Amino acid sequence: MNDELIKKIHKLPEELVGLIKDYVPKKEFIFTNRENYNLHHHLMPINQRDLYNYVKDVIHRDNEFVLNTIIRENYIKWIDKGIIYYKNAKYANYLYFILNYAIKCEAENCLKIIFIFLKEHGLDKNLHKKNLVRYIKWNNLI
């Protein structure tokens, strides 16, 4: 937005801002602050394929608050999803994929959230054994 427009909005009286807010769609307020995200994030129309791209983007930007909310809502589906293929690699499930993706993106805040979540649900024990990342490449040695 234009800085001058934001300055003009801040000069408006609170009563007027409250009246204007009533006419703006709720989904426009999703990314304004954490409270609005918690209240209105369910209004975002995201199908399953777009959700995976959205999660990768959240990890790439290292946005731990949004990732925490998404993991807590979708982890059961992600664990049951099964094998995930991504860039010549095979992952046991989507949760382990986002763990490795966060490592590759060096998203430290997201890694903390993922490890805390795994510890809370008892999925962190023997993680090195459960993490089945297999790189799939053709080997044409003659």
DSSP string across 102-118: HHHHT-HHHHHHHHHHH
Cα R_g (the chain), whole angstroms? 20
For the chain, the structural domain boundaries read 3-43, 48-135
User: Is the predicted pLDDT of residue 137 greater than 70, yes or no?
Assistant: no
**Per-residue pLDDT tens for 27-78?**
676 776 777 777 767 767 777 677 788 888 889 888 888 888 888 888 888 8
User: Is the predicted pLDDT of residue 103 greater than 80, yes or no?
Assistant: yes
pLDDT of residue 37: 76
Distance from C-alpha of 2 to C-alpha of 5, rounded to nearest angstrom: 5
pLDDT of residue 67: 87
Distance from C-alpha of 37 to C-alpha of 65, rounded to nearest angstrom: 10
Residue 133 φ then ψ, to 5°: -95, 120
Distance from C-alpha of 54 to C-alpha of 52, rounded to nearest angstrom: 5
Specify the residue for token string 């293929």. Answer: 85
- In terms of phi and psi (left: phi > 0; alpha: psi -120 to 50; beta: otherwise), the region of 77 is alpha
User: Is the predicted pLDDT of residue 122 greater than 80, yes or no?
Assistant: no
User: Is the predicted pLDDT of residue 1 greater than 50, yes or no?
Assistant: no
Distance from C-alpha of 142 to C-alpha of 134, rounded to nearest angstrom: 23
User: Is the predicted pLDDT of residue 136 greater than 80, yes or no?
Assistant: no
**Per-residue pLDDT tens for 83-95?**
777 777 777 778 8
